[in-house]
Amino acid sequence: MPQNAWSPKRERQYEHIKEGLQRRGRSPSLAKEIAARTVSKERARSGEARSTSRTSTRDISSGRRGGLRSHRGSGGRTVAQLRNEARQRRVSGYSRMRKAELERVLSR
């Protein structure tokens, strides 16, 4: 229970997200952080939060994003995530690669 201002519904949502992430192998601290961020974003989208950022209200919802990527499993990273990892690993030419090429190079 990280927030006192959360409704019982948001508390249940937080626990559900946190437990799901832990079942999928995320560390407890990372699962707590992701769950809290997700609930905070959903609160902002529905007008429950005092302050909101532009991206939290205009971006695609967390549930929809998860649904779009769910069929890919854990390998369903975005091109931006793949490019960021390639940059960190110092892969040359990563900015010109397509997603499949990035996945292939990073899987080595």
pLDDT greater than 60 at residue 1: no
Q: Fill in the amino acid letter for 96.
A: R
- Cα end-to-end distance, the chain, whole Å: 40
pLDDT digits (tens, 9 = 90+) for 14-53: 999 999 999 989 999 999 999 998 888 888 887 787 777 7
Confidence (pLDDT) at 73: 57
pLDDT greater than 70 at residue 70: no
88 and 61 both lie in a single domain: no
82 and 31 both lie in a single domain: no
Number of domains the chain contains: 2
37 and 87 both lie in a single domain: no
Q: What is the mean pLDDT of residues 64-86?
A: 74
pLDDT greater than 60 at residue 58: yes
59 and 7 both lie in a single domain: yes
Confidence (pLDDT) at 57: 65
Domain holding 86, by residue range, is 77-108
56 and 86 both lie in a single domain: no
**Can you give the length of the chain in residues?**
108
Q: Where are the beta strands (DSSP E) in 11-108?
A: none
